[in-house]
Amino acid sequence: MKYYMAPMEGLTGYIYRNAYQKYFHDIDRYFTPFITNKKLDFKVKKDIDPEHNQGMEVVPQILTNQPDDFISIVNQLKQYGYDEVNLNLGCPSGTVVAKNRGAGFLAVPDELDSFLDKIFNACDCKISIKTRVGKDSPDEWENLLAIYEKYPLSELIVHPRIQKDFYKYTPRMETYQYAAEHSRHSLCFNGDIHSVGAYGRLRQTFPETEKVMLGRGILQDPGLVGELRMVEAQFAAKDTGTPVGNKKCNVVDKQTLRAFHDDICDGYKGVMSGDRNTLFKMKELWCYMSRSFTNPEKYLKKIKKTERLAEYYVIVDTLFREQEWS
Ligand SMILES: Cc1cc2nc3c(=O)[nH]c(=O)nc-3n(C[C@H](O)[C@H](O)[C@H](O)COP(=O)(O)O)c2cc1C
C-alpha cells in the first residue's frame, strides 16, 4: 500500500510537509496545494523549491482550464526538476467553479477532453489527475471516466464526491467501484479515511486498493498513517488477507507531537511577519489537530481568540499538560 498526503491549500505547504517528514516520515508522496498563476509567484516558488522539499517525493498540483497556462506552469516546474504534475479537477469552491475550473471543469466535458488532448500532446512529463466524480450528479462519472481513459495518466486519484457535496455526506462508493471495474489507470482512493476503522472498511470492500490519499485524517492525527502501516503489516504477517482492524493503536506520543507542533510554529514564525499571521496558520491547523485531544473545546476556543504568540504558547502548554492525546 502506498500512502499519499493530500494537497490542502493553506495547510500542507512545505513547512507542514517538512515537519511531518521529520517526525513521521511515512508518506510515499506529497502533493502541493494547487498552483493557479501562469507565472509562478514567490509563494509557489518557495513551496516547490527542491531545497524546501528534501528527502520527499513531491508532486506539484495545477489548477487551470487553460492549456497554455498549464503548459507554461509545467515548463517552469521542469526547471526545478519536476517530471510529474497533478491536475486539480476537484476543487469545489464557488469562485473556482464559477470559472469552470477545478470541479467546475467537470461540467463541460467536451472542453475538458480538448484541454486534456492539448496538454498530453504538448507535455513530456507525467500527468496525473485528482478528480471528483461529477459536478451536479454522479451520473456524470461514466462519461468523465471514459474521457480519462483516452489519456495516459500516470495515476487517477478519485475523491468520490460531486462538487455540490463539498465535504459533506459520505463518499459515493459506488462511483469508486465503477472506476475500479472499468478503469485501466492506476487508481488512488481519497476521501474520509480519518480512522483505522474507515481504512479497514475500504480495504475490506476494495482489497485490490494499492494507494490511498489522506488529508484531514493526517491533520487531525499525524500518527494515523503509522497506524495504518501497522495494520497492514499485522495482516501481512498473519497472511489473513484483507485488514479489517479498527482498533486504535497510538504510535504517537505527546512529546513527539509537541516537537512536531513547535517545528511548524517556528517555521511559520520564520517566514511570516507578526504574531497574527503565524497565529492565523496555527489556528487553522488546530481546527483539525485539537480533535485528537481529550476535551479540546475550551482550549480551541482560547487558541482561536488569542492574537499574541506568548499567550498562544501558554494555552498550548496547558492543553498538552492537562489533556491526553486520544
Ligand atoms: C482546507 C482544505 C484545502 C484543500 N486544498 C486542496 C488543494 O489545494 N488541492 C486539492 O486537490 N484538494 C484540496 N482539498 C481537498 C483534499 O485534498 C481532499 O481531497 C479532501 O479533504 C478529502 O480527503 P480527506 O477526507 O482525506 O481530507 C482541500 C481540502 C480542504 C478541507
**216 known ligand binder:** yes
Q: Does residue 133 share a domain with residue 72?
A: yes
Mean pLDDT of 122-126: 97
Distance CA 18, CA 264 (A): 8
pLDDT score at 249: 57
What is the whole-number distance in angstroms between the Cα of residue 263 and the centre of ligand 1?
Answer: 23
Q: Which helix (H) or strand (E) holds 162?
A: none
Q: Which of 62-66, 141-145, 241-245, 308-312 has the lowest mean pLDDT?
A: 241-245
pLDDT score at 250: 60
**94 known ligand binder:** no
The number of beta carbons lying within 10 Å of the beta carbon of residue 291 is: 15
Residue 238 in this model has a pLDDT that exceeds 80: no
Q: Is 125 a catalytic residue?
A: no
What is the whole-number distance in angstroms between the Cα of residue 8 and the centre of ligand 1?
Answer: 5
Q: Which of 212, 238, 264 is the last residue of a domain?
A: 238
Cα distances (Å, whole numbers) of residue 67 to 143, 237, 291: 21, 48, 41
Convert the pLDDT of each residue in 68-88 to its tens digit.
999 999 999 999 999 999 999
Cβ(106) to ligand 1 under 6 A? no
> What is the band of 252 on the pLDDT scale with cuts at 50, 70, 90?
confident
> What is the band of 248 on the pLDDT scale with cuts at 50, 70, 90?
low
Mean pLDDT of 217-229: 97
Q: Does residue 315 share a domain with residue 206?
A: no
Distance CA 10, CA 285 (A): 9
What is the whole-number distance in angstroms between the Cα of residue 23 and the centre of ligand 1?
Answer: 22
Cβ(190) to ligand 1 under 6 A? yes
Residue 136 domain-assigned?
yes
> What is the band of 326 on the pLDDT scale with cuts at 50, 70, 90?
confident
Cβ(34) to ligand 1 under 6 A? yes
Q: Does residue 286 share a domain with residue 141?
A: no
Convert the pLDDT of each residue in 167-203 to its tens digit.
999 999 999 999 999 999 999 999 999 999 999 999 9
Give the mean pLDDT of the chain.
96
CATH of the domain at 110: 3.20.20.70
Residue 30 domain-assigned?
yes
Best of 3, 5, 9 for a ligand 1 pocket test (most atoms within 8 Å of beta carbon): 9
Q: Does residue 148 share a domain with residue 111?
A: yes
Cα distances (Å, whole numbers) of residue 236 to 77, 205, 232, 239: 39, 17, 6, 5
What is the whole-number distance in angstroms between the Cα of residue 300 and the centre of ligand 1?
Answer: 22
Q: Does residue 157 share a domain with residue 65?
A: yes
pLDDT score at 234: 81
Q: Does residue 193 share a domain with residue 112?
A: yes
Q: Could you identify the atom of ligand 1 that is nearest to the CA of residue 32?
A: 8
Could you tell me the residue range of the domain that residue 272 belongs to?
254-322
Q: Does residue 299 share a domain with residue 217?
A: no
Instruction: Please state the domain count of the chain.
Output: 2
Residue 248 domain-assigned?
no
The number of beta carbons lying within 10 Å of the beta carbon of residue 311 is: 15
Q: Does residue 175 share a domain with residue 56?
A: yes
Cβ(192) to ligand 1 under 6 A? yes
Cβ(217) to ligand 1 under 6 A? yes
